[in-house]
Structure 1
Amino acid sequence: MSDLLAFLQHLSATAREVTLGAPVPGAENKAGAGGFDPVTELDRGAERALRGAIEAAFPDDGIEGEEYGLVRPEARRRWLLDPVDGTRALICGLPSWTTLVALLEDDRPRAGFIDAPALGELMIGMPGQTTLNGAAVRVSGCTALSDARLSSTDPYLFEGTEAEAFARVRRAARLTRFGYDALAYARLAAGHLDLVIENKLHRYDWAALVPVVRGAGGVIGDWKGGDDFGSGSIVAAASQELYDAAVQLLSQ
């Protein structure tokens, strides 16, 4: 475990060499006409650097990233990479963007990190522990929706019945903040937020969140009370009671 921790720290430093302090380049639109899904050369450069470091250390492992796809899909161990989560924040000069890396074994997240280079915050989740810059952190333990600090990246993520479901939770929570992408899950793990609800997440979006939240004592699952993360609909909570209360409103 100490070797894995050291390697995750090495991967963080590797990506930061590309992204931290670099001028923000112009963004291309991957979504095509009618949408906006930005990507920059920092996204691509950071992923290339991460892939190179993993290939050098673990040449038999699979690697799957947002920008360059999947290699060695048959491998028992796979690394999931999102080199810049929150590219919209990056191109707007906001510090809330992160780098996400997760290690999966038999398709289940074992360890990972949420790194916020512009804030100098590296949060690593391992079995039984999550640390922020080396110091252990814990979730708040909040159990009641009426006390909960809720977050989601964008209110316009939700449409139709999903928008109605999220609105039920939002009305029951104490307060709601938007716009933090993966950083919201790090804030939940550190005890500053209590509940995060999102949808339409890809594997490279959610894989690192699972060990970080669980290592800090939190609960993370899907909108139906299970762990079908492949659905892309995610709920992270500071306690089982809070998770269950949110799922009850979401599933009505």
Structure 2
Amino acid sequence: MSTHADDLGLAHLLADSADSIALDRFRSADLHVESKPDHTPVTDADTTVEKAIRSTLARARPRDGVFGEEFGDEPGAGSRRWVIDPIDGTKNFMRGLPVWATLICLYEGKEPVIGLVSAPAIGRRWWAATGVGAFAGRHRNRAEPIRVSGVAKVGDASISYSSLPSWYEHGRGDEMVGLLKGAWRSRAYGDFYSYALLAEGQVDVAIEPEVKLWDLAALSVIVTEAGGRFTDLDGNPGPAGGSAVATNGHLHDAVLDALRPS
């Protein structure tokens, strides 16, 4: 089995390729957009990036499985699986907004052990490996360790969230508004960026009521290695619960309590 250093190096190479493909299609006049069965958009950049990542993994890690947003699950021969979101923030990508990223995660068994997020249009990348810590910078050779904040009271906290209507759709709208009213500051940065800002200590809480594994897997490694805590809305640890509560750790129980349905 390869070491985490080898796999992290491969994740960076995958991200380099994804960056090149996606940036070439970003703000392109002939960008092709379709609607998936769940009515979410997909561009030709999403599918091309995921195909390229899968092709490289097939050569470099032929025994590993791959689970991606656009082409589903391809089981491997062992317990290792790469979880890929080729472009997180597709709606931003479509509108020419630079806040989008490729998310790459490696699972060993049931545990995510490597996470990498590359946002080339804003010139920043975040990554982490279990037991190694979390880092951010323009590139792997130009990076610094990152750490969550030390804010200990919701009244002093900056909270990043997804759209308010989605919280009402999941029966926690009033609870969410109550939490935001009690916070020092709230902004809907959205998608991967909320969690990246959390890992860097620039916000203190990032929460979403409904998300997929590929949206969260890489981010969960980065947040926890930066010293934070990552669960679903019921407090179950990890990124697989279908919702997300990520905090600096100090605020976690208070946020879970505030969002518990009345």
Which interval holds the TM-score relative to the shorter structure?
Answer: over 0.9
Deviations 1:169-223, CA, capped at 9 Å, x for gaps: 1112111111421111011101111100102111111111110101111111111
1:76 aligns with 2:79: yes
1:27 aligns with 2:33: yes
Find the aligned partners of 1:177 and 1:27 in 2 and give their Cα distance. Answer: 28
Q: How does 1:1-252 map to 2 (within 5 A)?
A: 1-22=4-25, 23-24=27-28, 25-31=31-37, 36-72=39-75, 75-128=78-131, 129-133=133-137, 134-158=143-167, 159=169, 161-227=171-237, 229-239=239-249, 241-251=250-260, 252=262
SS at structure 1 position matched to 2:21: helix
Find the aligned partners of 1:135 and 1:5 in 2 and give their Cα distance. Answer: 16
Following superposition, the deviation at residue 61 of structure 1 comes to 0.3
Distance change >3 Å, CA 139–CA 183, structure 1 → 2? same
SS at structure 2 position matched to 1:64: strand
Following superposition, the deviation at residue 160 of structure 1 comes to 5.1
Identity of aligned residues (%): 33
Find the aligned partners of 1:123 and 1:206 in 2 and give their Cα distance. Answer: 13
TM-score by length of structure 1 reads: 0.93
SS at structure 1 position matched to 2:159: strand
Distance change >3 Å, CA 237–CA 125, structure 1 → 2? same
Deviations 1:122-173, CA, capped at 9 Å, x for gaps: 1001123111022111111211111111111322222252212222211121
Bigger Cα displacement from structure 2, 2-11 vs 209-218: 2-11
TM-score by length of structure 2 reads: 0.90
Moved over 6 A (4+): none
SS at structure 2 position matched to 1:208: helix
Q: What residue ranges of structure 1 are gaps of 5+ in the alignment?
A: none
Find the aligned partners of 1:192 and 1:21 in 2 and give their Cα distance. Answer: 30
Aligned residues: 248
Report the aligned-residue RMSD: 1.6
Q: Determine if contact 1:96/1:180 at 8 Å carries over to the other structure.
A: no
Deviations 1:55-81, CA, capped at 9 Å, x for gaps: 111000000000011111663000000
Following superposition, the deviation at residue 31 of structure 1 comes to 3.9
Following superposition, the deviation at residue 225 of structure 1 comes to 2.1
Find the aligned partners of 1:165 and 1:115 in 2 and give their Cα distance. Answer: 33
* Aligned equivalent of 2:140: none
